[in-house]
């Protein structure tokens, strides 16, 4: 029997720049797997066209006329036909608006290129990868509202000394949920590798700070991790741990790593496993691809405790699936079960 070709994925493009619309049409037109079914010039028009055409994905500029991308995301996600939304945003503006759009249900973000930087081919390749990831998103599993937790009575003799979290697509809302659910006196340093452009990370750190009573900051090269603080890996470097047990610092690196993304979850996890070992907690969360799976295995083999998010609660069960397939995880848990389980682990002696 002759196999029928897959139908092209139907994409709605919402972009108020005629030049950018033309460039995106050109890139997507060269890929036979995509079909642009409509072109909107603001968020209101995008919501109306999404209801009419019911696309597989909306490619949405963040800043557009009277009705911006946030308006479009909110209207589409509360409609009868929600779909994955990939945001386009200039790296130099709109960080707060971007994070509100991600919280409202947008799947991911891609930094728009400067039309003068000559790196448009790379943007086209990254656009294709981001679209594929967004199309695989499980829209039914968006973390719901939460409240920050009060203090917990932790033992003075803790069995672990650091918590590592790794995430990609769907990660921002997932990380917000976890941090808001942890007690305000959580005693370990928390180090996060989230695939996100560097320009958006300061605003993301600020948002996490508002939702959690833990101190949140960007990890600095040469900085010593401190208890009861959250550190975000930079978006233009890998974040590593360098040193010996009980005496280690953060180190930035731009060395080539098998992981495509900055920051590499594998790079963080593997370096921490080598330095800290059995007193590590590693958690691999939602995301496409396999980044973090080998690193989680390294933590497990070093004697640390490893967890991956389950399929039902993941926006994309790619990275967690890869960890499961190589036996890297000791527990697979739903998102809602992860924070209380982490607290429980620290109560064990």
List active site positions.
168, 195, 291
Interatomic CA distance for residues 143 and 204, integer angstroms: 17
157 neighbors 349 (Cβ within 8 angstroms): yes
* C-alpha Rg value of the chain to the nearest Å: 20
Spatial separation of the C-alpha atoms in residues 128 and 27, rounded to whole Å: 9
Element (H, E) at 122: helix 120-135
- Give the DSSP letter string of 76-110: HHTSSS---EEEEEETTS-HHHHHHHHHHT--EEE
Burial 37-62 (b: 16+ CB within 10 A, else e): bbbbbbbbbbbebbeebebbbbbbbb
Cβ atoms of residues 17 and 113 within 8 Å: no
SS3 content of the chain, % helix, strand, coil (to 5): 35, 25, 40
Q: What whole-number distance in Å separates Cα of residue 327 and Cα of residue 259?
A: 19
Note whether 86 and 59 are within 8 A (CB): yes
Furthest C-alpha separation in the chain:
67
Give the pairing of strands 305-309 and 331-333.
Answer: parallel
| Alpha-carbon span 312 to 50, nearest angstrom | 26
39: left (phi over 0), alpha (psi -120 to 50) or beta: beta
DSSP 14-60: E-S-HHHHHHHHHHHHT-TTEEEEEEESSHHHHHHHHHHH--SEEEE
CA–CA–CA angle 338, 138, 94 (5° rounding): 85
């Amino acid at each position: 029997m002759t196999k029928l070709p897959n139908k092209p994925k139907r994409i709605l493009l919402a972009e108020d720049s005629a030049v950018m619309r033309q460039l995106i049409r050109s890139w997507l037109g060269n890929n036979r797997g995509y079909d642009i079914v409509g072109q909107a010039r603001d968020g209101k028009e995008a919501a109306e066209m999404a209801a009419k055409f019911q696309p597989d994905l909306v490619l949405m500029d963040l800043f557009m006329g009277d009705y911006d991308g946030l308006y479009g995301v909110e209207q589409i996600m509360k409609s009868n036909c929600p779909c994955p939304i990939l945001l386009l945003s200039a790296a130099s503006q709109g960080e707060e608006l971007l994070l509100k759009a991600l919280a409202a249900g947008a799947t991911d973000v891609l930094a728009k290129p400067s039309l003068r930087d000559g790196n448009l081919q790379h943007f086209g390749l990254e656009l294709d990868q981001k679209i594929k990831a967004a199309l695989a998103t499980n829209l039914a599993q968006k973390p719901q509202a939460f409240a920050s937790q009060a203090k917990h009575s932790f033992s003075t003799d803790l069995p672990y000394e650091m918590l590592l979290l790794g995430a990609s697509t769907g990660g921002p809302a997932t990380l917000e949920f976890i941090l808001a659910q942890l007690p305000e006196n959580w005693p370990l340093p928390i180090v996060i590798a989230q695939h996100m452009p560097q320009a958006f990370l300061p605003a993301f750190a600020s948002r996490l700070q508002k939702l959690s009573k833990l101190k949140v900051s960007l990890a600095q090269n040469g900085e010593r991790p401190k208890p009861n603080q959250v550190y975000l890996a930079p978006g233009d470097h890998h974040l590593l741990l360098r040193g010996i047990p009980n005496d280690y610092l953060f180190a930035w690196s731009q060395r080539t790593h098998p992981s495509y993304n900055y920051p590499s979850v594998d790079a963080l996890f593997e370096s921490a496993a080598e330095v800290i070992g059995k007193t590590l907690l590693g958690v691999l969360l939602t995301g496409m691809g396999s980044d973090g799976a080998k690193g989680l295995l390294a933590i497990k083999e070093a004697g640390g405790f490893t967890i991956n998010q389950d399929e039902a609660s993941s926006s994309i069960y790619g990275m967690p699936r890869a960890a499961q397939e190589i036996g890297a995880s000791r527990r697979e848990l739903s998102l809602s079960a992860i924070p209380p389980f982490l607290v429980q682990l620290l109560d064990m002696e």
